[in-house]
Amino acid sequence: MTMKIEDVLKLARANIAALTPYQSARSIHSGKGIEIFLDANENPREPYANSGSVNRYPDQQPEEMMEKLCSLYGVTNKQIIATRGADEAIDLLVRSFCDAGRDNIIVSSPTFPMYGIAARVQGADVIDVPLKDDFQMDVEKILQAETDDTKIIFVCSPNNPTSNLMNEADIIRLCEESTSLIVLDETYIEFSDKESFVSVLDNYPNLVILRTLSKTYALAGARCGVAIAHPDIIALLLKVLPVYPVPQPVVQAVCTALQPANLEKLNRFVGLLRQQRDYLTKMLQKSDDIVHVYPSDANFFLVKVKNAKKFTDKCLDAGVLVRSQDSVMKDHIRFSIGDVHENKRLLSVLGVDASDIRDGNESGRIAFLSRTTKETDIHGFVDLDEPGCIQIDTGIGFYDHMLEQVASHGNFSLILTCRGDLNVDEHHTMEDSAILLGQLIRRALGNKAGIGRFGFTAPMDESLARIGLDISGRGFLKFEGDFPREDVGGMPTEMVEHVIRSFAESLGVTIHMEVTGENAHHMVEACFKGLGRSLRAALHKQGDEMPSTKGVL
């Protein structure tokens, strides 16, 4: 018989159920049109330009971010709590429901070790009912192991490290027959063919679902996860959650990543990872180091090897880091599915010929890259075959507009965000963004087979930019032009030549550019529009032949 929510709440620690949570004045009066904030002893000035209000405390559950999370998971704001990764949600659940020295949780090893760690830190016991030989739960033994002091049963599906989904019928049986909280960790569910159990959440008051933006949505560094459950359980967890748990930069990153255009691109990238998973399943079996490759419903593989230590040492010597599972599963290794180039590297280390591995061209010429230095933190995406998605945010409005012109006239999609040291000046942000753009296009081009290679262009009112361009593999710029102003829209005109040179060198393209005119705005725009138009011709794929008598670019 399915538990009632009243019975579920009785599982909570009595002192947590009776706890009156700390509330900031801002949370009490949220949504009342307040414009002057003198409640939290903050510094009223932002620390640097475009800092994104980091001088102010964020809400406990920031409204804009929560709206996007609710939309993503198809729940109401009363059914969800945002935490610093799913790890914090695990910790909150254990601290809210398990009394130290008395209560226990149930896990099924091998599984994610944080469940047991969180319980032991709280002083709760851990009952382990190991998975069966097929890596499925032994539901009968779990129910037999359950005691009056069992508060939580953790289920990971797809499971880490075995990478398989748990049987739906087994999960439902636990929800219906157990007298404990069933915490279903769906961290990797988007990589599988199954839908989330969120769709049946209303049927089971004792069910809590964990999700994260770390995997599918590529925000591991932002640390944002959620717990989804009955509103009364969420209200209980909010009592334990710190009052300002979500940093403002995380809010900004989540809101940007969950914009529709970004979601479309990320979902496409998941498709590419799944294609790589299918390819690796076959190729890994050719390695003499690997005994068995287990089927995967996640973005990682579990493999059995001849000798785990020799395997990891071999990978480390080649600069490849994998995760040994030898302590819990003798001679087993877990490793993530990387991009095409990373997977080639792994297969090469394992002595497998990966010359036929595809560069993702079956789903378009796509690249995701990040570049972090002491001065800048940049993330970018490019799709050379599907135009229409262009989002640029460097903190320099006119420069954003110019990069938009390159992508728009180049007829490709581009997402690029940069957080740089604009409190110093514009140089690092503009230079590093140009470098990443060149790297993105270079990565997306793959072996360059079939491209037009050359490009020329372009007038802009009274201004004229003459551009010759060759994707030759050799970075070179010859630039001629004098701008009548030192600044256009906050962007130094002296940086135009430097930006295009940085782009040329990182992409490996020869550019000859000459610009004349009377209006600096028009001259700068002619340079970037012309660059885009030249790239359109050069990047256009016309077949599969290599556009070089040498046979390589």
Nearest partner of 153 among 134, 170, 169, judged by Cα: 170
How many residues can be counted in the chain?
Answer: 553
* Model confidence pTM above 0.75: no
Nearest to 67 by CA among 54, 49, 84, 82: 82
The count of other CB atoms within 10 Å of the CB of residue 35 is 4
Written as six digits, the tokens of 547 are 């556009």
What CA–CA distance (Å, rounded) separates 311 from 475? 39
pLDDT for position 363: 47
Contacts of residue 420, defined as CB under 8 A and 6 or more positions apart, other chains included, come to: 375, 376, 377, 378, 394, 395, 428, 429, 432
The pLDDT profile of the chain, 553 residues, written as one tens digit per residue, is: 788 999 999 999 998 899 887 777 667 666 666 767 665 666 677 776 666 778 888 888 999 999 999 999 999 999 999 999 999 999 999 999 999 999 999 999 999 999 999 999 999 999 999 999 999 999 999 999 999 999 999 999 999 999 999 999 999 999 999 999 999 999 999 999 999 999 999 999 999 999 999 998 888 888 999 999 999 999 999 999 998 888 888 998 899 889 887 887 788 778 878 888 888 988 999 999 999 999 999 999 999 999 999 999 998 888 889 999 999 999 999 999 987 778 888 888 999 887 766 544 444 588 878 888 889 989 888 888 878 788 899 999 999 999 999 999 999 989 898 999 999 999 999 999 999 999 999 988 887 877 887 877 767 788 888 999 999 889 999 999 999 999 999 899 999 999 999 999 999 999 999 999 999 999 999 999 999 999 999 998 876 665 665 665 5
In angstroms, the CA 28 to CA 39 distance is 11
Q: Is 169 helix (H, G, I), strand (E, B) or coil?
A: helix
